[in-house]
Structure 1
């Protein structure tokens, strides 16, 4: 696509101020243009920073100072009162204990915890820094939810999709990743990849460095991984197994690459579906058993399909998107069949 969007149009897209046609053109560029995706990711990062800045600017400094001044005045007054009421300590102490151990915990429990939800759209890889300094790369069509601040003895986040974690080491506070179907990945400081899209029949946890433990709520099994190993979790049966893993193949996506090593065609098309936000239909069952070895970097979906067509007896068709009544568009459908 030859049309070029400037930064202001991308900011308008992130604000939700573009028309349906303009939004469609942005999303088509995200799927077809690596350069535009890179530019979009940079501006998305700036957008999030500017949003945080706007929130900080919205703080009423004068009101905050007045509140602090009142507290200081109150503390000064309380000190004077205390000098006159020391003899009443036997009465005040039970009241203080009642407040500290009964009233205050109830109040804190009723204060809703602030959480942040980060979502990555098709064709976009999003990087975030968590409150403890840990880094996360979020793959296309994935969602991560985490608290505004980690509290207590554990650092817990919720993932739906795929993410690469570089966890800051903290021996006193365990880091937990909760996925759909109640799989939990736990560590204290390490690097690992979690692939847990909700509709997948198999979840994968790949350890790049350090140590992790994987468990499921309804399974008695707990697996501890060593570097270069992988856990396979089957949500339907709640079974957990371990295997050797090619960490480069499993984590290359965070660097914008799709790497396949004797990959079944069915698994390959699943990754293309996630990356480009399309629906791929294999019309012939025998296509699922085809195996591919390839590395794709900045190729568009159409370029990848043409390369696959050149290396195997397949052909394909791509449907046009249809506009719905709510001004959204259907996904493109790619139908792949055997070439006669």
Structure 2
């Protein structure tokens, strides 16, 4: 049994090597990144292995060392032992590769192993269309990613601050640490600074307005050289078209209920209703308004499917809808589309 476990760990280490060299498919890469987001030890192993591969590339012109052959030799030695952890395997590989270079590149290796910003290991997570993804950061902060959103963060927070980058929509539950502030940066270079709080950032690239909703605690929003302090129950709006910013008092749960699988509309115009439904249910919705009338909706949906919601909307407005199928190609297969008309 010990020998079997040992072989499994060797296979896992080999898989990490292929991951660091970019040889795995996208599905396997996402699986490893998800595990690393939950396991700080695994994230550290990945970071160390990437540094070793980087060292090998930078000093290859000083010495001829066959990394792959060295790796296989280490595996043979490891198989003779009974119990070896994954971390131990990583470091034995490191020691074997570094030994021939000890005299000629000790100083270079020392400098390269210092955690510069360019060499820090980052993890990027993307949520699939129509899904909500939950992850835990290295500092135990929690993040919920809404449909078609992206989060990028270091495998380990070891700087003076904790910083993540995001696109789309995310709900943050940040672990309090006043000595190490937490920053969220959007693609529009808007920074949200917190020390420990709960808030929501809606920054989809195809929407005109960015919304930052504070549920609990205190945050500072920095944009264009201006800093705005927010209080719980407030929403910070940033208009991309004119770069104008303002704050409104809101009910936070109406902005954050999506993470619990709920869809809440409060005096929401029909075009926005269909835009949100399109993202939530991962279906293309085309809204054709020939009447010229404006309708606002107030409703809460939890377990209803898209067709039930459309039928509900028909009861309160002169709407008709139909589902069609668009013929695709080998690269882009057929997809369904819903056309909603208001005459």
- Under a length normalisation based on structure 1, what TM-score does the superposition of the two structures give? 0.70
Change (3 A) 1:105 1:292: same
Which of 309, 329, 332 aligns to 2:336? It is 332
Deviations 1:62-99 (A, max 9, x none): 5735867999xxxxxxxxxxxxxxxxxxxxxxxxxxx7
The answer on 1:156 being equivalent to 2:163 is yes
Separation (CA, whole Å) in 2 of partners of 1:51 and 1:183: 24
- Within 5 Å, give how 1:188-199 maps onto structure 2: 188-199=195-206
Separation (CA, whole Å) in 2 of partners of 1:161 and 1:132: 22
The answer to which of 128-137 and 44-53 deviates more is 44-53
Deviations 1:158-205 (A, max 9, x none): 111111000000001111111121111111110000000011100000
CA positional deviation for 1:335: 1.6
Instruction: Note if contact 1:207-1:226 (Cα within 8 Å) is conserved in structure 2.
Output: yes
The answer on 1:234 being equivalent to 2:248 is no
Instruction: Note if contact 1:282-1:288 (Cα within 8 Å) is conserved in structure 2.
Output: no
Change (3 A) 1:330 1:151: farther
CA positional deviation for 1:321: 4.0
Which of 295, 304, 308 aligns to 1:303? It is 308
Deviations 1:131-173 (A, max 9, x none): 1000111111111111101121111111111110000000011
Instruction: Note if contact 1:221-1:240 (Cα within 8 Å) is conserved in structure 2.
Output: no
Change (3 A) 1:45 1:304: farther
Change (3 A) 1:145 1:16: closer
> What is the match of residue 118 of structure 1?
125
Query: What are structure 2's unaligned runs of at least 5 residues?
Result: 1-24, 46-83, 99-106
Change (3 A) 1:286 1:267: farther
- Within 5 Å, give how 1:197-276 maps onto structure 2: 197-216=204-223, 219-276=224-281
> What is the match of residue 13 of structure 2?
none
Separation (CA, whole Å) in 2 of partners of 1:282 and 1:137: 29
> What is the match of residue 298 of structure 2?
293
Deviations 1:215-258 (A, max 9, x none): 22xx2332111010000011232221100111111011000000
Aligned partner of residue 248 in structure 1, secondary structure: helix
Query: What are structure 1's unaligned runs of at least 5 residues?
Result: 1-13, 18-43, 72-98
Change (3 A) 1:68 1:274: same
Instruction: Note if contact 1:160-1:179 (Cα within 8 Å) is conserved in structure 2.
Output: yes
- Under a length normalisation based on structure 2, what TM-score does the superposition of the two structures give? 0.69
Separation (CA, whole Å) in 2 of partners of 1:130 and 1:268: 32
The structure where helix makes up a greater share of residues is 1
Instruction: Note if contact 2:201-2:212 (Cα within 8 Å) is conserved in structure 1.
Output: yes
- Within 5 Å, give how 1:18-29 maps onto structure 2: none
Deviations 1:76-129 (A, max 9, x none): xxxxxxxxxxxxxxxxxxxxxxx79xx838965485221111111122111100
Aligned partner of residue 181 in structure 1, secondary structure: coil
Instruction: Note if contact 1:277-1:331 (Cα within 8 Å) is conserved in structure 2.
Output: no
CA positional deviation for 1:277: 1.8
> What is the match of residue 91 of structure 2?
64
Aligned partner of residue 137 in structure 1, secondary structure: strand
CA positional deviation for 1:333: 2.4
> What is the match of residue 145 of structure 2?
138
Aligned partner of residue 268 in structure 1, secondary structure: helix
Change (3 A) 1:287 1:141: farther
Instruction: Note if contact 2:222-2:228 (Cα within 8 Å) is conserved in structure 1.
Output: yes
RMSD: 3.7
